[in-house]
Every structure is written in C-alpha cells, then in structure tokens.
Amino acid sequence: MKSNYNHELTPELRESLSKIKRLALDMDGTIYLGSTLFPFTVDFLDSMKNAGVGYSFLTNNPTKSVADYLKKLEGMGIHADQDNMYTTSLAAIDYIKSHYPAARRLFLLGTESMISQFEKAGFESCSDDPDDVPDVLVVAFDPTLVYPRLCRACWWASQGIPYIATNPDRVCPTDQRTILVDCGSICRCIESASGRRPDITLGKPDPNMIYGIMDKYGLKPEEVAMVGDRIYTDTATAHNAGAFGVLVLSGETTIETALKVAEDAASNPNPEFYPPNLIVRDIKELGELILAARS
C-alpha cells in the first residue's frame, strides 16, 4: 500500500479521491477532540455534502444509542440524522440479522442506552435467568456491569450460545485517574471462566462496519474512504475492507509514527500495521484535496 504525504495531487491520487462517494469518519480525534469540536468540522461536512460525498460517523463505543449520539453531536453543532451514524451496536444488529435471521432473544451485556438500540431493531432482551435462554449472547463495553450478569454471560458462553463481541478495545480512553475496562477485557474474563472466545469481534479494525456501509449504499470498496487518527484501528479497518485509508494527524498518531509504519511496511511483506493511502493534517486538508480532485 503506497502512502502519500507530500500532498501533490498526482494523477494516481486524483483518480483515487475522485472515486470516493462516502466517508467513514472516526469521531474523537477526527471531527472533535475530547469534548471540543474542531473549528473546521462543520464547514468540512457541508462542503462534502454539497460535493455529493456522503459521510457516516463510526465509533467502537457502543454505550450510546444512535439517538444519544445524535443528541451529543447536535450539542456540538453538528446536524446529523440516523443515516450518518454507524456504531458497533448497529454492526452487531446487522450481523445478527444476516447470520442468525431467526434470532429474536438476546442476552446483552451493555448499557440501557445500547439495549434500547437492539430493542428498537426488534430484539428482546433476556433476563438474568437460567430458564430465559437467549438465541445470541452479545457482550459490549458496559460501565453498568454487575457481577451476576457477568456470571450469566459466562454461563451462556459455556453452553455454546452464538457469541458476539461488539468491539476489541481492552480499555476506553479517559482523562480520569482510573482504568475503564472495555469490551475486550470483559471478553478475556469470560474466556478465563468459560474457556470460550467470541465467535466474532466487531468494531474497528474488523471490516464489517465498512461492509455494512457498502451494503447499505451499494458501494464498492474503492468508493469508501475510512478516515481516522489511529493506525491500528482506523487505517487497519480500511486495509481489511479494501477501502481507501486516510490518516489524520489531529488526534493520537504523530507523523513520525505514521512514517515509521510506512517504512516498516516497505521492507516487511507481513507488517504489523499497514500505512494509510493518504496522510493529512486534518479533515479540512482532506476536504480541500477531495474538492480539487473532483474539480
């Protein structure tokens, strides 16, 4: 995978950018940082919409329903609707409907907001009862987790119930003096107790979120750009889905790290991480390049 950081709009880059019909946008570090919206985000989104380029906000955090995420974005000044959001909860819902079409009852480790998203999709939430047998076990990042429900999840995992994890993150970033145990660590606990790993772990870098966007809008991989600030999730998702990968330097990853990844990939046929197709300072710069490519 060739990485571009000199921002020269070469014929190759122009062709790639002109094909993009939808942007899969990471959120924290890409459109905002912490609780602060970047000053160029709204103009960027407006310019993409006017150019006929759609966008979906992607997040590995399943704790909020789509309605709650839209409320958060509205509070930041971003006017979006349900078509603009794709969370790991939605990815799990799409996966269950595709792979377990008869499933109706789920045992869910997750927040009330997340559970409401599944119920809105037509599923029923099972109680903590050995006689209330679920069709599928779904484990997510759950700050409200209580011990009995963790034990019940371990039990259902041990019984061979289809088992889905919403995301692989071991911890959730925080500026507080604590460690927020995320879905990946909860799944490790279940594995230790039951001997069972999830049948599939969704969320970045798993490509199913990009596949979901492609299926929904009838797009090819090269028509979707995954845009984010993390090489090991965002760029990896693009690579795994065959989409166009854009790394922004407005969040976690530095240019030094990005160039080192590109250097390692150039000399290693099986690198740990794959470099992005394009590195930009931020989404403002990405928007300028897309508009120039489409002019």
Note whether 100 and 175 are same-domain residues. yes
In a domain, 80, yes or no: no
- How many domains does the chain divide into? 2
Helices (H) and strands (E) in the chain — how many of each?
11, 15
Note whether 96 and 169 are same-domain residues. yes
In a domain, 97, yes or no: yes
With beta carbons less than 8 A apart as the criterion, state whether 173 and 230 touch.
no
Examine the fold and report which residue of 184, 201, 218 is the final residue of a domain before the chain moves on.
201
Note whether 52 and 28 are same-domain residues. yes
Q: What is the pLDDT of residue 295?
A: 85
Note whether 168 and 182 are same-domain residues. yes
The CA radius of gyration of the chain, in Å to the nearest whole number, is 20
Q: What is the pLDDT of residue 28?
A: 86
Note whether 219 and 288 are same-domain residues. yes
Q: Which long-range contacts (CB under 8 A, 24 or more apart) does 49-55 make?
A: 51/290, 51/291, 51/294, 52/21, 53/20, 53/21, 53/22, 53/23, 53/290, 54/21, 54/22, 54/23, 54/217, 55/22, 55/23, 55/24, 55/25, 55/84
In a domain, 94, yes or no: yes
In a domain, 81, yes or no: no
Q: What are 56-112's pLDDT values in tens digits? A: 999 998 999 999 999 999 999 999 999 999 999 999 999 999 999 999 999 999 999
Examine the fold and report which residue of 168, 185, 201 is the final residue of a domain before the chain moves on.
201
- Here the tokens at position 212 are 């979901």
In a domain, 268, yes or no: yes
Note whether 197 and 102 are same-domain residues. yes
The CATH number assigned to the domain holding 168 equals 3.40.50.1000
- Here the tokens at position 71 are 């409320």
In a domain, 4, yes or no: no
How many residues would you count in the chain?
Answer: 295
Note whether 20 and 50 are same-domain residues. yes
Going across the sheet that includes 224-228, the strands are 85-87, 54-59, 22-26, 224-228, 244-248, 278-280
Examine the fold and report which residue of 159, 180, 201 is the final residue of a domain before the chain moves on.
201
The parent domain of residue 20 ranges over: 11-59+204-294
In a domain, 51, yes or no: yes
Note whether 15 and 38 are same-domain residues. yes
- Here the tokens at position 98 are 């595709």
CB-hemisphere CA count at 13 Å for 178? 6
Note whether 118 and 191 are same-domain residues. yes
Distance CA 207, CA 239 (A): 8
Note whether 246 and 272 are same-domain residues. yes
Q: What is the pLDDT of residue 1?
A: 42
Note whether 181 and 225 are same-domain residues. no
Note whether 180 and 218 are same-domain residues. no
In a domain, 183, yes or no: yes
Low-confidence ranges of the chain (pLDDT < 50): 1-3
